[in-house]
Structure 1
Amino acid sequence: MAELKRFGYGLQALVVLASRSGQYSSTEIAELINGEATALRKILSRLTDAGFIEVSQGRGGGYTLARKPEDITLAEVYRTLQDDGAQWERMLDTTGNNFFGKKVRESFEQIIMDIHTQVDHVLLSYTIADLME
């Protein structure tokens, strides 16, 4: 669930940055999206590392969008903010190491793969620009 919250806050932060050409501090962004500035900085750090935003340090510094909003798909943002152990993979933790557990695990793995394919398909059809409309 935490990664979905990160995704939601990350998307909102990108929309804020796309809404004007100036810089925003993490505190300003946090206030606009009703988030916590310290947690948001971790999200902004990931988005910076991925090349979605740029940061200027020091007095008068802040965050700006590094790419055009129409060039940033929600799928890219989701992948950037997703942890290695995605939420659906936790289903696999419920299967045992016996015959039944192994058979169910195979089914769960297929379901998880299908979910990821569908989520990716949907998120690829939206950009940050779409969220601004």
Structure 2
Amino acid sequence: MAQLKRFGFGLQALIVLAANNSEQCSSAEIAEQIQCEPTVLRKILAQLAEHGIVEARQGRSGGYQLTRSPEQITLAEVYKSLHEKEPQWDRMLDTTGNHLFGQKMHESFSKIMTDINTQVNQVLGTYTVGDFLD
């Protein structure tokens, strides 16, 4: 699944959990509400649990809930939790070759990619899950 799709579904799942006022929700309930395949959502929720954003409880009365208030969870934290690989724009580096011109472009592109990553993290850091609640 594309990384940005995973981020979108993960963020929507967190908003659903935040709107439920600390009550647990099953992955099936969340998946139905955000129209996401339940197995995909469980993988996303597992990553969020690994990073301490959600808590998972197993069993018949189990489910997911946020580990802290929605206002304390930044989108930057969510984004980092769900991205195992480099962002899509880093693929631009794959176009540079091992020749002199390609090496110069690789260096220039690397600086641009660093700036983009910094800006994305800064922008996402200014928003929280709480910002999406009515």
- TM-score grouping bracket, smaller chain normalisation: over 0.9
Residue 106 (structure 1) aligns with = 107
Which blocks of at least 5 consecutive residues in structure 2 are unaligned? none
Residue correspondences, number: 133
Range 86-95 or range 122-131, more displaced: 86-95
Residue 85 (structure 2) aligns with = 84
Q: 1:4-35: CA deviations, max 9, x gaps?
A: 00000000000000111211111110010111
Alpha-carbon distance between aligned partners in 1 of 2:70 and 2:106, rounded to the nearest angstrom: 40
Alpha-carbon distance between aligned partners in 2 of 1:107 and 1:131, rounded to the nearest angstrom: 37
Residue 7 (structure 1) aligns with = 7
Q: Which runs of 4+ in 1 moved over 4 A?
A: none
Please tell me the root mean square deviation across aligned C-alpha atoms, in Å.
1.1
Amino acid at match of 2:15: V
Which blocks of at least 5 consecutive residues in structure 1 are unaligned? none
Q: 1:46-99: CA deviations, max 9, x gaps?
A: 000111111110111111111110000000000111123321221111110000
Alpha-carbon distance between aligned partners in 1 of 2:84 and 2:92, rounded to the nearest angstrom: 16
Alpha-carbon distance between aligned partners in 1 of 2:52 and 2:63, rounded to the nearest angstrom: 15
Matching of residue 74 in structure 1 with residue 75 in structure 2? yes
SS in 2 for 1:54: strand
Residue 16 (structure 2) aligns with = 16
Length-normalised TM-score, structure 2:
0.95
Percent identity among equivalent residues?
59
